[in-house]
């Protein structure tokens, strides 16, 4: 199969991007996969469930990115230097999550309202990854309640971020409306590091439109991959019924997270089967 360039990246999705989904995505041709956001403090404290979220089997040619969030900058440094993240090529800092429980802990997109704190965190992590020879990136939005993306992106790069992933929405907008690709384009024009565009890419047409408008170095795809990991190729090809069932079984076999998360995956796969193969039986969990 012809692989698209610029790269297509599977987005971090809390409750979805577990070891099973990441493995299935790689089996479908993903060249870069991310963990969902992982709490740095829980890793430092040795929380077994959180450490299990790091499980990965490296496949040659695939880039592995671990995303961290947390309240205590020192915990990020401890985790990076601990060796726990050794299977990952890149550490990403979550500065885009707008969920109330994240924001109220001064994490995620809240950092886009506190540039000094964001800068401090990036600088500490940049120094830490130098020692571990990993890359450092930031995943951001356009801002919290107003577009400050260019200023924020320039700050991130100056502080040591080597790549930016920009979701073209404000934090206050959650997932409403449409992603503002012009906003991402302004970031791309303003920094020298690679910029990955994110938001509302779901098929070949939206991928091409996103790249034409943003001039980004790649795109990140999130929700479109739930129950449809083959869309990582954005080639609009639907696999055979047998292949979809095979992917479902693989996801089930490798699932190491909450049982309820597997049910969510399963229901989404079933939705795809109902759409493309309505005459075929729905595999049961």
Of 10 and 26, which CB lies nearer to ligand FMN in the complex structure? 10
Residues that bind ligand FMN (CB under 6 A): 11-15, 36-37, 67, 94, 96-97, 139, 167, 175, 198-201, 221-224
What's the closest the beta carbon of residue 98 comes to ligand FMN, in angstroms? 9
Cα(53)–Cα(72) distance, integer angstroms? 20
Of 84 and 97, which CB lies nearer to ligand FMN in the complex structure? 97
Of 204 and 223, which CB lies nearer to ligand FMN in the complex structure? 223
Of 167 and 265, which CB lies nearer to ligand FMN in the complex structure? 167
What's the closest the beta carbon of residue 237 comes to ligand FMN, in angstroms? 19
Selecting among 97, 107, 156, 226, the annotated active-site residue is 97
What's the closest the beta carbon of residue 55 comes to ligand FMN, in angstroms? 16
Cα(18)–Cα(56) distance, integer angstroms? 9
Q: Residue with the closest Cβ to ligand FMN?
A: 222
Of 38 and 148, which CB lies nearer to ligand FMN in the complex structure? 38
Using alpha carbons, list the distances in angstroms from residue 266 to 190, 226, 254, 271: 42, 9, 13, 9
CB-based contact 171:205 (threshold 8 Å): no
DSSP string, 232-257: GG-S-PPPPHHHHHHHHHHHHHH--S
Cα(181)–Cα(199) distance, integer angstroms? 8
> Per-residue b/e over 147-166, b at no fewer than 16 CB within 10 Å?
bbbbebbebbbebbbbbbbb
Q: Record the tokens describing residue 81, joined without a space.
A: 């230097």
What's the closest the beta carbon of residue 99 comes to ligand FMN, in angstroms? 8
| CA neighbor of 197 nearest in space, from 162, 235, 168 | 168
Q: What's the gap between Cα 63 and its chain centre?
A: 12
What's the closest the beta carbon of residue 69 comes to ligand FMN, in angstroms? 8
Beta-bridge mates of residue 63: 32
Q: Record the tokens describing residue 37, joined without a space.
A: 């956001």
Residue 97 is among the residues annotated as catalytic for this protein? yes
What's the closest the beta carbon of residue 239 comes to ligand FMN, in angstroms? 20
Of 142 and 247, which CB lies nearer to ligand FMN in the complex structure? 142
CB-based contact 69:50 (threshold 8 Å): no
- The residues annotated with a catalytic role in the active site are 97
């Amino acid at each position: 199969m012809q692989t698209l360039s610029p790269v297509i990246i599977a987005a971090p999705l809390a409750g979805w991007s577990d070891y099973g989904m990441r493995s299935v995505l790689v089996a479908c041709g993903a060249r870069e996969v991310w963990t969902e956001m992982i709490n740095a403090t829980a890793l430092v404290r040795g929380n077994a469930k959180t450490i299990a979220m790091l499980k990965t089997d490296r496949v040659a040619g695939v880039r592995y990115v671990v995303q961290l969030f947390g309240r205590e900058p020192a915990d990020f440094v401890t985790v990076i230097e601990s060796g726990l993240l050794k299977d990952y090529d890149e550490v990403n800092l979550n500065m885009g999550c707008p969920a109330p429980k994240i924001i109220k802990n001064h994490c995620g997109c809240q950092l886009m309202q506190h540039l000094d704190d964001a800068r401090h965190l990036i600088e500490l992590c940049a120094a830490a990854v130098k020692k571990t020879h990993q890359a450092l990136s930031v995943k951001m939005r356009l801002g919290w309640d107003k577009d400050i993306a260019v200023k924020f992106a320039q700050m991130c790069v100056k502080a040591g971020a080597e790549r930016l992933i920009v979701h073209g929405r404000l934090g206050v907008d959650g997932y409403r409306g449409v992603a503002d690709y012009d906003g991402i384009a302004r970031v791309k024009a303003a920094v020298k590091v690679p910029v990955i565009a994110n938001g509302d890419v779901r098929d070949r047409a939206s991928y091409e439109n996103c790249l034409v408008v943003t001039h980004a170095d790649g795109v990140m795809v999130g929700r479109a991959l739930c129950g449809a990991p083959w869309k990582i190729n954005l080639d609009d090809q639907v696999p055979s019924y047998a292949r979809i069932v095979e992917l479902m079984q693989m996801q089930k076999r490798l699932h190491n997270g909450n049982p309820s998360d597997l049910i969510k995956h399963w229901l989404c796969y079933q939705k795809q089967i109902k759409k493309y193969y309505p005459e075929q039986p729905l595999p049961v969990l």
